[in-house]
Structure 1
């Protein structure tokens, strides 16, 4: 497990090599520099809207640190933008936490406890590595244990896990946090220059897609 956690930290840390770099003006944002244009566009979940995806892992410290910035940004998105989170699953605890997120999403309660899960892992030292540990934790936040366990083990959630894995492969990601705009453009904290640079790139690409309509 130490090897898994170390590899996870390294995977996410590799995206932050340029995290101290200031965000560049919008006119300097270029394909191949701050973002990559995917060779094969990936279909979006809601055709007609500009899709923005964040791929994350609850155990990733950089995802945790990115949360306040991306949450504030997402709250102000216009109606023509569809923002969604997808759990990255590279095996082991990544998959367990991904299944947790998707179970809560299927229950319609994910927004209520998303932040609390990050806090539990990164500030309280909880691992949330088993369904029973998750159910006990969630019960303290008003979520019925039996309902959660039923959702966690459901065929629907396991199907969503397979879909999320296929999307991550299509996006060609190697670490988190990473963002995708409209199934066409991939970028992360390292290439974009930190949290604010990442969101500036997202804004630029949203505007680019809107103008191309």
Structure 2
């Protein structure tokens, strides 16, 4: 009886939204006015807009990594670095270089840790070039890509998409080019992926109709 009473008290302490799991526009997410075309229409696209220097993005990263481990085959996940300030540019370029050179999976979480745990700013070309040598990328190879047309093109494309999404801060999760989920709309970082999963299932059901 005592265990039952304790369980009841714990249940009452859980926020209602945590087990309601019934989200709507303005409650959990916001609907993007003009849907943005996704890269692969056959899949449900999830894009995380981030900045390496953002403490909230850093706090979300372990949740993102855990969520990605159980990613369904019909879901296509992508990171997209934002440039909402001049000092964000170096970090965005570093991400695109890592992606082009095939080391993004190895480097991504380490980049967050270098900034938020080790106190490194990681916002100069020299510092980033040295950091990339830890992943088998020579400084010359890094610099060649860092200032390349390919990286600048990706920056422009990302900027255009982020504007189209209507995102004004980070972190932000875009589901299938139609919905924006933030800590503010979801009620905190811990609930972001509950909302994302809800929207994925909503999109999945809609495609099967």
Q: TM-score, normalised by structure 2?
A: 0.88
Q: Which stretches in structure 1 are left out of the alignment for 5+ residues? A: 1-20
Provide the alpha-carbon RMSD of the alignment: 1.6
Shift of residue 191, structure 1, vs aligned partner = 1.4
Task: Please say if residues 178 and 186 of structure 1, whose CA atoms lie closer than 8 Å, have aligned partners that are also in contact.
Answer: yes
- 1:198 to 2:197 alignment: no
**Secondary structure, counterpart of 2:25 in structure 1:** coil
| 1: CA distance, partners of 2:169 / 2:79 | 15
Contact kept, 8 Å, 1:57 with 1:98, in 2: the verdict is yes
Q: Is 1:103 the equivalent of 2:97? A: yes
Deviation at 1:142, TM superposition (A): 2.8
Identify which of 181, 190, 195 aligns with 1:187: 181
In 2: Cα distance, 1:191 partner to 1:22 partner: 15
By relative contact order (CA 8 Å, sep 6+), the higher-ranking structure is 1
Instruction: Give the match for residue 132 of structure 2.
Output: 138
Q: Is the 8 A contact 2:103 2:135 kept in 1?
A: no
Once the two structures are superposed, the pairs formed by residues 67-106 of structure 1 within 5 Å of their partners are 67-106=61-100
Provide the C-alpha distance between the structure 1 equivalents of 2:191 and 2:127, rounded to a whole number of angstroms. Answer: 37
Alignment counterpart, residue 158 of structure 2, candidates 159, 164, 169 = 164
Q: How many angstroms apart in 2 are the aligned matches of 1:23 and 1:144?
A: 49
CA distance in 1, matches of 2:127, 2:119: 13
Structure 1 residue 140: Cα displacement: 3.0
Distance 1:26 1:41 in 2: 27
* 1:23 Cα deviation from its structure 2 partner: 4.8
**Take 1:122 and 1:91, find their aligned partners in 2: how far apart are those partners?**
18
Residue 205 of structure 2 corresponds to which residue in structure 1? 211
Supply the distance in 2 between the matched residues of 1:53 and 1:166 (Cα, whole angstroms). 14
Equivalent-residue separation in structure 2 for 1:54 and 1:87 (angstroms): 8
1:114 to 108, 130, 138: 108
Deviates more, 1:197-206 or 1:131-140: 131-140
- Structure 1 runs of 4+ aligned residues shifted over 6 Å read none
- 2:45 is matched with 51
